[in-house]
Amino acid sequence: QSALTQPRSVSGSPGQSVTISCTGTSSDVGGYNYVSWYQQHPGKAPKLMIYDVSKRPSGVPDRFSGSKSGNTASLTISGLQAEDEADYYCCSYAGSYTSRVFGGGTKLTVL
Amino acid sequence: EVQLVQSGAEVKKPGESLKISCKGSGYSFTSYWIGWVRQMPGKGLEWMGIIYPGDSDTRYSPSFQGQVTISADKSISTAYLQWSSLKASDTAMYYCACTYYYDSSGYYRFDYWGQGTLVTVSS
């Protein structure tokens, strides 16, 4: 299966909001409410930020929110902070026990 | 606190075999799925497969089926990822990650991650 499509990079100034999109098909993003988002700082392991499209794990700031419309999921980060600068990956279930697909990743730069 | 501690970096030659490990602590090992994710140098994440240590139910991504073997030893709370014959293209960082088995949607995400094991395959 093909990777989900994410912008290669986005940027914003401290305090601003940014949105990262994740576009798939009706066979993955559009077909299931199992989209998750991961944050990865350089040289570190990924960290779960959003799951089931819009749920936040305990400990993740409410500045992070997720949504979905059709075949596109989105991660919005409001009140940008310097520590939010990282790579972000979306991931979706794709319809079988063994099928998961990640996006190519988006590099967020906090200006 | 759930912790996953992975084995150290490996340098291997093409054709050699390898088994890397991921030890869980701070939780009931048989209450969580454990999976593996590959990250090739400078690239994105790829879901490889997942195992439930309670009964060794194992599922592979079609891209990795037949290329690697995922296993677990619940007596020592450790999961494994192994290769029988490495290729240069297996050079990557490999992460283990886990998710609560009894969460109806836990199967579709990874809540906790190990620190990663760097595998380098070069002649």
Q: Is A102:A3 a contact under the CB 8 Å cutoff?
A: yes
Residues A52, A65: Cα–Cα separation, whole Å = 11
From CA A68, how far away is CA A31, in angstroms rounded? 11
Amino acid at B114: G
Report the 10 Å Cβ neighbour count for A36.
28
Which phi and psi (to 5°) does residue A24 adopt? Answer: -125, -140
Summarised one tens digit per residue, pLDDT across range B48-73 is 999 999 999 999 999 999 999 999 99
Determine, for residues B45 and A34 on separate chains, whether the beta-carbon distance falls below 8 Å.
Answer: no
Give the pLDDT confidence score for residue A1 in this predicted structure: 57
- Of the candidates B61, B113, B114, the beta carbon closest to that of A98 is on B61
- Any CB–CB contact under 8 A between A18 and chain B? no
A102–B61 CB contact, under 8 Å: no
Answer yes or no: are the C-beta atoms of A91 and B113 closer than 8 Å.
Answer: no
Digit-coded pLDDT (tens) for A17-42: 999 999 999 999 999 999 999 999 99
Give per-10-residue mean pLDDT for chain A (111 aa). Answer: 89 97 95 96 97 96 97 98 98 83 96 93
Only one residue has tokens 């050079």, namely: B91
Residues of B with CB under 8 A from a CB of A: 37, 44-47, 49, 59-62, 65, 95, 97, 105, 108-111, 113-116
DSSP A33-93: S-EEEEEE-TTS--EEEEBTTTB--TTS-TTEEEEEETTEEEEEE-S--GGG-EEEEEEEE
Identify the H or E element spanning A100. Answer: strand A100-102
| CB proximity A99 to B under 8 Å | yes
Give B45 to chain A, closest Cα distance, Å.
6
The closest of B107, B106, B104, B92 to B46, measured between CA atoms, is B92
Show residues of chain A in contact with B95, CB under 8 Å.
45-46
Alpha-carbon gap: A92 to the closest alpha carbon of chain B (Å): 8
Report how far residue B22's alpha carbon sits from residue B28's, in angstroms, rounded to the nearest whole number.
14
Amino acid at B47: W
